[in-house]
Amino acid sequence: MNQMTTEFARPVVRRSSNLLLWAILAFFVIAVIWAAVTNLDRTVRATGRVIPSSELQVVSNPEGGIVQRILAKVGDTIARGAPLLTLDRTQMNGELGSGRATIGALELKIARLRAEIAGQEPRYPAVSDPALTAQLVVERALHTARLADLANAVAVAAARLDGAEREAVGSAALVRARDAVRDEKLHEVGVIGPLVERGIEPRLSLVQAQAAADSARAEAEAARASLARARAQVAEARSAKAVARQQWRAQAAAELVAAQADLSAKGQSLPTLENRAARTVVRAPVNGTVNRVLVTTPGGSVQPGQPLVEIVPADDRLLIDARVLPSDIGTVAIGQTAKVSLTAY
């Protein structure tokens, strides 16, 4: 009985040993296959820095100035157009205000000159700036003074015309009187001549009558010449009156051309001043993250074009610029996917 039991157990032990052998062999095959197809994560330490794939956006100001407020901090996420810092705009405001005041004053002057040329009462644009209100008073005073100058010039010309007309009237009356005397003397010559031929009057009477007639004729011609001069003076005085008005308007027209040219020049420079004033608020050119703020002191001065803020664009990719230890080079390959963790120090 014992012998049979021993013989039966031997095949069972042999089969168990075979199964264990096959299990061990299968384990090693599976381990080799798993090692061939499975990637294991490995930690590699390196020192480096995070950099953007493209250039940083360096913000500057073309005019420079005094820093008034610093609004951005390192790490801030900002949108395009967001204010980063402000510069003192006292000087810019002064230049801009002066430019606007000059334009307003020129507009008032142009309104006055146009009215003077047209012979109308000026219609000035509405003003609210105290400086322009004062300029409006000046323009109204200038208009009143200009009208007084015109009235004086016209009055002088009118007085001259009146004197010339009176002289012309007197000359015309003198011509008529001298013509009458001449005609009378010629009539006397006509009467005395036949009497002398008949011996009734002496020849001396005829000579005297002819001399008187010649004198009367000369005086009549002189009166006519005086009348011609008087009439010329009348025409000249009338022309002088018209010229006084024309010169007054011509002066206004010349001033108008100059004022319009100045207004055009100032109008073209005003947008430049407004842009310069607007640029005293330094704004972000792109969406992104503030990398560095290069000015830290309000009240400090910055030069034109000086870098003020660095921004990493939001749509930019970040790169890791790191130096791997020689002992870890074998575990790093080109194109390998890596998970990066940043330490605090």
pLDDT, tens only, 4-36: 444 444 554 556 666 777 777 777 778 777 666
- What's the pTM? 0.56
Percentage with pLDDT > 70 across the chain: 88
Six token digits for residue 179: 């013509």
Closest to 315 (Cα-Cα) out of 51, 52, 72: 52
Six token digits for residue 271: 């947008």
Closest to 65 (Cα-Cα) out of 314, 340, 277: 277
pLDDT for residue 115 is more than 90: yes
Q: Please tell me the predicted confidence (pLDDT) of residue 11.
A: 54
Q: Please tell me the predicted confidence (pLDDT) of residue 113.
A: 94
pLDDT, tens only, 143-193: 999 999 888 888 888 878 777 777 778 777 777 877 777 777 777 777 777
Q: Please tell me the predicted confidence (pLDDT) of residue 107.
A: 93
Mean pLDDT of 62-80: 90
Highest-pLDDT range among 50-59, 72-81, 335-344: 72-81
pLDDT, tens only, 296-307: 889 888 899 999
pLDDT for residue 331 is more than 90: no
Label residue 307 left, alpha or beta by phi (over 0 means left) and psi (-120 to 50 means alpha). beta
Name 153's Cβ contacts closer than 8 Å, sequence gap at least 6: 244, 247, 248
Task: Report the C-alpha gap between 90 and 75 in whole angstroms.
Answer: 31
Mean pLDDT of 97-103: 88
Confidence grade of residue 69 (pLDDT, cut at 50, 70, 90): very high
Confidence grade of residue 323 (pLDDT, cut at 50, 70, 90): confident
